[in-house]
Structure 1
């Protein structure tokens, strides 16, 4: 394409050069004619018409040459240019094909090189595999003897395993028999534990019997003594009533009616009728109080001694604590202040009420015994708190406290910090076993001279 452009430029240059030469010839001719005309005029010769004709002919020839020159040049150079253009186009097409072929050859060469590299790698891998196979074959040959020896050892071990299996089956059978015996023993132990808890409960009731009898005797005396007095007051009241009833037959006789009314008024003054009415009301109130107190004690006994250890029941622990305090009232009355801080949001939940009452009995009894009788500032605080999934019960006293070296052993059976003859040493051990049965936890914090606090955490179970 560049060659074609160069040819066209050469063609244009040639035209310009020829045109320039024609113009130059025309100028030279005109100058020559002008010089000739000037020479003739200088010699005094008048130029002829031929000189003018020459001038015009020279102009005409020059113009005609300039006009015809492009056509002549086009007719001469055009076939050459067309031929050159075709050759240039063919050359460019061949160049493009050569470039495409060159690119394809380059790609093919690169693919061939890549395949050659892969073949070389494959060859190396095959040689490596062949080498490994030879080594493996050698190792297999070397290990064949070892495998034969291992097979013999395996056969011997199999025989030993068969013997061991038979021994294990015998041991398993013995273990199952032992397990059955253990289940029987566990059941017996649970029954013994239940009996022990009930025995402890009965023992607690036995210890409290005198106090309970005294507590019941006081309200019963109110009732008994009040009945005799009430009988005498009612007899006076009935005399007044009889005197009023004697008025009915006397309705017709006004004088006798007035006389009878005077007798009634005299009788009322004699027995102090208004005072009798007040005394009757007071006695009825005392009798009601005695009966109510007796009912509270009986209800406390019934709640405390309930037998429901085999299944959980929904019950109110506040009732259990209150019933325990009623039974123990004779132990702390007039010397120990009981403060109760019950959580009003705590609702009845599933637990073993009878067993939990035994826990309250043992812990509160210990708190009472921990406060010397000569003290008058004794105090026991009882807290309950609802923790959504758990219930927290705290029983705190300001007694003598427990030494730190004995705190770790207080839940051991038959261990006690009390004097000889006071307690069996089973109270806190039973408490711990009951809390375990509920799936709960119990903690104790104590400081000598300041008091002891037991913290119980019980999970809320569904029935």
Structure 2
């Protein structure tokens, strides 16, 4: 046994059998560590060694951030503030093993105080949740790929119906819009009553919690002998844990339902069919809605920066312009292998609106630039693209009296610049 842990247990001054306690800690399926008051490790159990790959003598006396989990967590300051104030903290860390492999843990860190209330140590208990995180990420990826596949199939179906730029006329966009609106409606109904029920449940739960606290206080004050009888059963049933966890579960469920609601709203806005073909719209809103639709194609490989200026409303077909933005954003994401950056910028200059979409992907060879807007021309492998997306985008922008221009350096990225006049009837088409 480590002398430091033995000393620590001796300082507890409890009636717990020391040997039994040490055996329980050593044989625990959870990763357990103890630090001094400034975060230096003084004890780790066998499970810690097994999970992290570090021998005990490699971590004793080292800062607990040896696993780099705390340094990678945006909540580290909040965590330290909590435990330094004498409160328990719970949260997830993305830690790093000795061999460089990353793993997820759900941590509970508690301060340990002496008889004077001074913090002398911190106790950490970690549960390995790597498999759970992988399942969640795999599920999210699967859902994202399914949604993206459905969207891509709709776009591909529209593109293959004709070799002309008129593929995106009113009839095709209306049919896609009706399908999307129908799906959004079917999702919106159940998520509506789920959200409503959750909000009601949240109110009921808070009232029940307040009642329980009041009831227990009255029992403690007026019938202490009854309180002593029920106190062990209360502890056995883990009432405090259930109250705390139930509150978290309700909050997380409400957050999830709100996220679904926003996705449905973006889909309805993107494919709305109960509006005129041309209308006055804010292109920033159009860009935001389009980004929401294609976000799953982007977020796994690239960051996205938005710099949207104040724009006057433009009389246009927002569904067609959303198609242009979608084509360019998806192409940008596909040109990036990993750790990329996509920048979306909008400006009002003189009598025009200028939209730029820039990426740091693979870029386009100079000999291909002049052909990028030709129908059926593509730099993708056979079966990965029809070569119609950019030609359709070109025709849509021309139809709105504007211009679309591309600059690209092979291996460095591309910049698409879209210019849309506020008064296209005054310019030659």
TM-score by structure 2 length? 0.48
Which of these two proteins has the greater Rg computed from alpha carbons?
1
TM-score by structure 1 length? 0.45
User: Which of the two has greater strand per residue?
Assistant: 2
